[in-house]
A and B are shown apart, each in its own frame.
Chain A
Amino acid sequence: DADVTQTPRNRITKTGKRIMLECSQTKGHDRMYWYRQDPGLGLRLIYYSFDVKDINKGEISDGYSVSRQAQAKFSLSLESAIPNQTALYFCATSDLRQSSYNEQFFGPGTRLTVL
């Protein structure tokens, strides 16, 4: 969905490096999410945010941190990357004011490889 953009789209890094993945949205949604996708495991929630002042841990937050710099921007950081963080990372947005189902809109993903 072009309304949710992620940068970079691909990243190769080394063990121990700090890396930041960025997400921006033009949908005006208040909620933003970070997921990781692994083969055979589906998508797992890392962190989510209701607004700039509200950050919540998801199912697998260890080793990750996030920052909600503005309503439209939500970044994910790996302070010291390790190989098992190699995965496809997705940002998503939603807004209950616009969808009673809390439909989530996903970005195109960032493929991260940690060597």
Chain B
Amino acid sequence: QQQVKQSPQSLIVQKGGISIINCAYENTAFDYFPWYQQFPGKGPALLIAIRPDVSEKKEGRFTISFNKSAKQFSLHIMDSQPGDSATYFCAASIMNNNDMRFGAGTRLTVKP
């Protein structure tokens, strides 16, 4: 069974809009929650990550919101741009543990 559940599977947003991707996890031992961005033909690349001791982390137009009690976290992309069109994966792991569990991915399309 998938330990990290991601939704939606695909998302279409207009340029300038807000893209929101949600993830939920089950293992309360997870303490590291990264988001990876993958462009076609490329490997995933780390976009932003959060530890559960904070509820929000922002880097430019990208924000992670984290709700420890609900075991949920989400990625918000503000002012979405066509160049943001990619597949996004959430993930979770125990720090220093190499067994990282990924969500199924969300294909984001930002229309100009």
Contacts and interface: CB of A to CB of B under 8 A. Distances in A.
A106 B46 CA distance: 9
- Interface bin, chain B: 20 to 34
Contacts of B41: 108-109
Main secondary structure on chain B at its contact with chain A? loop
Contact of A42 (B42, B98, B99, B105): B105
Interface stretch (A11-19, A65-73, A96-104): A96-104
B20 interface: no
A42 B46 contact: no
A46 B57 CA distance: 30
Interface string A83-115: 000000010101010000111111111000000
Contacts of B46: 101, 103-104
A104 B98 CA distance: 10
A101 to B, nearest CB: 5
Interface of A: 1, 4, 31, 33, 40-45, 48, 50, 56, 58-59, 90, 92, 94, 96, 101-109
28 contacts: A1-B45, A4-B43, A31-B98, A40-B9, A40-B105, A41-B104, A42-B102, A42-B105, A43-B44, A43-B89, A43-B102, A48-B98, A58-B99, A92-B43, A101-B32, A101-B34, A101-B49, A101-B95, A102-B93, A102-B95, A103-B46, A103-B49, A104-B46, A106-B44, A107-B43, A108-B43, A109-B42, A109-B43
